Chains A and B, each alone.
Chain A
């Protein structure tokens, strides 16, 4: 975490302005009949004002799906990691199955899910859950079993019970690993919800999310609206990661090496 000077902070703004300039330049060089493929930034802004309510509703739906899937994955993966950390034998029994789940492209499961629970929010939540689950369970388990062996001996010397060892030692020691998994899952959650919406979404009852909106706009060649949808999706991703990073900072910055100030 190095300190940024004022100029360093200003640089991304400067390069951003440059990129927008380049964008207009490319458009100026394009032939008239192909211009519709690359809407200008101001066209995208227009799309925002025209499609505002639709984008907002879709973002809320996708956000909801991502949040529920993510929260479910956090809770389930943490419980699962506690269980897996109990013995190497348990890990040997269940890790291969987790790998199978991870290796199966989730998209392949979409038709199965649609048949099981129907297209719509339920499928979206389950797909998000499946995508977020694996990195979280692997990282948290890793954290729970890599506790400093001297500290484990120290707890034994204090006649700590297994429950005390878990609560007072292994869980707090695993926090940095847990947050690594959480960070990965937070980037995957909105993607999972959008992909889920693309394949297993449904507009019925106003449940359509950003994925569904993308299908509608692309079928209508609404390039500006498609770009606007992409920007909203990106913002959703930043929101998720931002919240997780703040939470991670809040719980680790006082004691963990990774937040140590360079002096």
Chain B
């Protein structure tokens, strides 16, 4: 896949940093069922923004669940910052498909919750939450309840909650899937703007080719039944990316290419299914 496979993760090589995330031949099946994920290997370097895209049933959300330790692996290995997924939880944060806010807490208290669970003092929590809410432009809504927010604003709170932890690895499972296109484009830009300030490595599951191309430096196209890596597409569009990026020829070409790949994977799926 990439040329960086020479660096081993088990020993700390002083010349080259070990990958932040390493997948080693992941296999996942539920019970006695067929393999949902079949032999995915991958390495992510510090600062990679990796989008996982593929037909439904390709196990892209399952990959995130495995990375967070919410699901156990059938075989293979996931190493995150030198640790197994459960031990690496301090280093990673999961942004769910739904905003997953606690409706009985204010926006501020929602953002503070992960720090509260970790027993950090109130002053530190408040400062981190205030800063994170400023990043997503919701400082003025700190005392609101989720009920009073729009769908886009709720998702912003969810992202603020994630970035307030300054995670090393950020897992996002179609966070903008339920939003209208305008809001989604806007949040994509905001997400990249936040990334300028925080050096997390991102794994981003999406159905939207345009979103994947806009955000990522690497797009992994997965095939379904069982989930395997079909192709990896490198996106060499320079960061920071803005509204103008979407108008560039290279962006348009990449969207077309990934769309074509996705269609061929879909055809493959129909063939195997029949």
A contacts, CB < 8 Å to B:
148, 150-151, 153-160, 164, 168-169, 172-173, 175, 254-257, 260
Contact = CB atoms under 8 A, between A and B. Distances in A.
Given A153-B96, A157-B89, A157-B93, A255 B117 contact: no
B200 interface: no
B16 interface: no
Interface residues of B, number: 23
A160 B96 contact: no
B15 to A, nearest CB: 34
Contact of A150 (B68, B96, B104, B118): B96
B96 A255 contact: no
B70 A156 contact: yes
Contact of A164 (B92, B102, B117): B117
B117 A168 contact: yes
Interface string B150-185: 000000000000000000000000000000000000
Given A157-B89, A159-B117, A254 B98 contact: no
Nearest to B97: A150
Closest 5 CB pairs of A and B: A158-B117, A255-B145, A150-B100, A160-B117, A158-B114
Nearest to B94: A157
Nearest to B100: A150
Nearest to A164: B117
Contacts of B94: 153-154, 157
Given A173-B104, A256-B103, A168 B113 contact: yes
Contact of A157 (B68, B98, B103, B147): B68
A156 B94 CA distance: 11
B96 A172 contact: no
A150 B158 CA distance: 12
Given A155-B117, A255-B145, 11 more contacts: A151-B102, A153-B94, A154-B94, A157-B70, A159-B117, A160-B117, A172-B104, A175-B104, A256-B103, A256-B147, A257-B147
B59 interface: no
Contacts of A164: 117
A158 B113 contact: yes
Given A175-B104, A255-B147, A168 B116 contact: yes
**A contacts with B: majority SS:** helix
B216 to A, nearest CB: 23
7 contacts: A153-B94, A153-B96, A155-B117, A157-B93, A158-B114, A159-B117, A255-B104
Contact of B102 (A158, A169, A260): A169
Interface centre among B89, B98, B113 (most CB of A within 10 A): B113
A235 B93 CA distance: 54
Contacts of B113: 158, 168
Interface centre among A154, A155, A173, A256 (most CB of B within 10 A): A154
B61 to A, nearest CB: 12
A256 B147 CA distance: 8
A160 B89 CA distance: 11
A41 B142 CA distance: 56
B146 interface: yes
A169 B103 CA distance: 11
Interface in B114-164: 114, 116-118, 145-147
Given A157-B68, A255-B104, A260 B118 contact: no
Contacts of A158: 89, 113-114, 117-118
Contacts of A172: 102, 104-105
A158 B165 CA distance: 10
B203 to A, nearest CB: 14
Contacts of A157: 68, 70, 89, 92-94
A168 B104 CA distance: 10
A256 B89 CA distance: 31
Contacts of A175: 104
B202 to A, nearest CB: 16
A221 to B, nearest CB: 55
Given A150-B98, A255-B145, A257-B147, A159 B90 contact: yes
Contacts of A260: 147
B229 to A, nearest CB: 25
Interface string B67-96: 010100000000000000000011011101
Contacts of B104: 172-173, 175, 255-256
